[in-house]
Amino acid sequence: MRIRTPKGWELRESAVTPESLYRRRDRRDFLKTLGLGAAGALFLRSAARAADGGFPAAVNGAYPGTGLKVTPYELITHYNNFYEFGLDKADPAVNANKGWQPEPWTVEIGGMVRNPGKWDVEDLIKKFGGIEQRVYRHRCVEAWSMVVPWDGFPLSKLVAFADPQPGAKYLKMTSWMDDKLVAGQQADDGLDGRYVEGLRVDEATHELAFIATGIYGKAIPNQNGAPLRLVTPWKYGFKGIKCIGRIEFTDRAPVNTWQKLARDEYGFYANVNPKVDHPRWSQASERVIGGGLFSGRQSTLMFNGYEQQVASLYQGMDLAKNF
């Protein structure tokens, strides 16, 4: 019998979705999430087998000391920040579904890499060996939080595939590659039609850094960032760029969208830190979306609860200056 030691960051079983939800998932949606189409049957069968005692192994681990509950699908997909599709939390679920079709989708990988090119997303997912599931905390800089069961692949696989040149230190990621507005997009989003985010290469290759292609075993909805969306659970949600169209490797730290809009308030790192307040509000606690009236607030944890895993990335850095 193979015994699997759970990783420290894995959320424990009681924190994840009722199994029935996974079992009820629509097969077409699931295959779409996997990016495998009909050819995914084999993978599906092995995933189903892995799920037999509960959840696939990737989310079936222990996470000491938390009583977290996964946020309901309806809330994850109807309480969104996606400024290209409107400024209210309810806007993206409406406006991103007015006919915009993010499939098929090509992602361009370029800059300081040995393997540049434009790649079809489904082909990439197949190259990376399919999809895994990760249940992560999701903490917005606006001091609210959720727990999301993502499907996707580790960003490190994409970095290895791109094969960075030795001088490459950062990834610059950009949303959209169309020059024209897509259906539902707001012309006055203030972003010039482009959302930009960045990571250091060592952050991008950390085992927690993830590219989501699904939620709850279904293809990721447009409003959550279809078809490719960054998830770095130890950082504020604004790092989680949606609809990635281009990834460029560079030797200079990219200026991300929120830094460009308000550099005194939002930095490059955006690591969750209860001791470093936003200039206009405290970051010591967070409102739990769906948490109800009485259990609706909780203390914010250093690096959003992933301190043990990621603190070494920032050793010796002044986190108040590098916010």
- ∠ CA 68-71-73 to the nearest 5 degrees? 155
Nearest to 9 by CA among 281, 222, 232: 232
Question: Is 82 an interacting residue with respect to ligand MTE (CB under 6 A)?
Answer: yes
Are 141 and 237 spatial neighbours (Cβ–Cβ below 8 Å)?
A: yes
Minimum CB separation from ligand MTE for residue 4, in Å? 29
**Which two three-digit tokens encode residue 219?**
């293809």
Closest residue to ligand MTE in the complex (CB): 237
Interacting stretch for ligand MTE, rule CB under 6 A, among 37-45, 54-62, 78-86, 294-302? 78-86
Residue 184 and residue 72: Cα distance in Å, rounded?
A: 25
Residue 190 and residue 261: Cα distance in Å, rounded?
A: 9
Question: Is 147 an interacting residue with respect to ligand MTE (CB under 6 A)?
Answer: no
Minimum CB separation from ligand MTE for residue 89, in Å? 8
Of 10, 84, 122, 151, the residue at the interface with ligand MTE (CB under 6 A) is 84
Are 285 and 297 spatial neighbours (Cβ–Cβ below 8 Å)?
A: yes
Residue 36 and residue 79: Cα distance in Å, rounded?
A: 29
Nearest to 238 by CA among 212, 264, 268: 268
Question: Is 81 an interacting residue with respect to ligand MTE (CB under 6 A)?
Answer: yes
Question: Is 240 an interacting residue with respect to ligand MTE (CB under 6 A)?
Answer: yes
Question: Is 242 an interacting residue with respect to ligand MTE (CB under 6 A)?
Answer: yes
Question: Is 149 an interacting residue with respect to ligand MTE (CB under 6 A)?
Answer: no
Residue 220 and residue 240: Cα distance in Å, rounded?
A: 14
Minimum CB separation from ligand MTE for residue 295, in Å? 20
Question: Is 137 an interacting residue with respect to ligand MTE (CB under 6 A)?
Answer: no
CA–CA distances in Å: residue 215 to residues 71, 135, 210, 281: 11, 10, 13, 30
Minimum CB separation from ligand MTE for residue 195, in Å? 3
DSSP class of 171: E
Question: Is 80 an interacting residue with respect to ligand MTE (CB under 6 A)?
Answer: yes
What is the DSSP pairing of strand 170-175 with strand 196-200?
antiparallel
Q: Which of residues 34-53 bind ligand MTE (CB under 6 A)?
A: none
Question: Is 249 an interacting residue with respect to ligand MTE (CB under 6 A)?
Answer: no
Minimum CB separation from ligand MTE for residue 73, in Å? 12
Minimum CB separation from ligand MTE for residue 67, in Å? 22
Residue 309 and residue 303: Cα distance in Å, rounded?
A: 9
Q: Which of residues 206-235 bind ligand MTE (CB under 6 A)?
A: 224
Minimum CB separation from ligand MTE for residue 204, in Å? 16
Question: Is 271 an interacting residue with respect to ligand MTE (CB under 6 A)?
Answer: no
Minimum CB separation from ligand MTE for residue 299, in Å? 19
Residue 146 and residue 76: Cα distance in Å, rounded?
A: 8
Run of H or E residues at 117: strand 117-120
Question: Is 68 an interacting residue with respect to ligand MTE (CB under 6 A)?
Answer: no
Total residues contacting ligand MTE (rule CB under 6 A)?
A: 15
Contacting residues toward ligand MTE, per CB under 6 A: 80-84, 140, 175, 195, 224, 237-238, 240-243
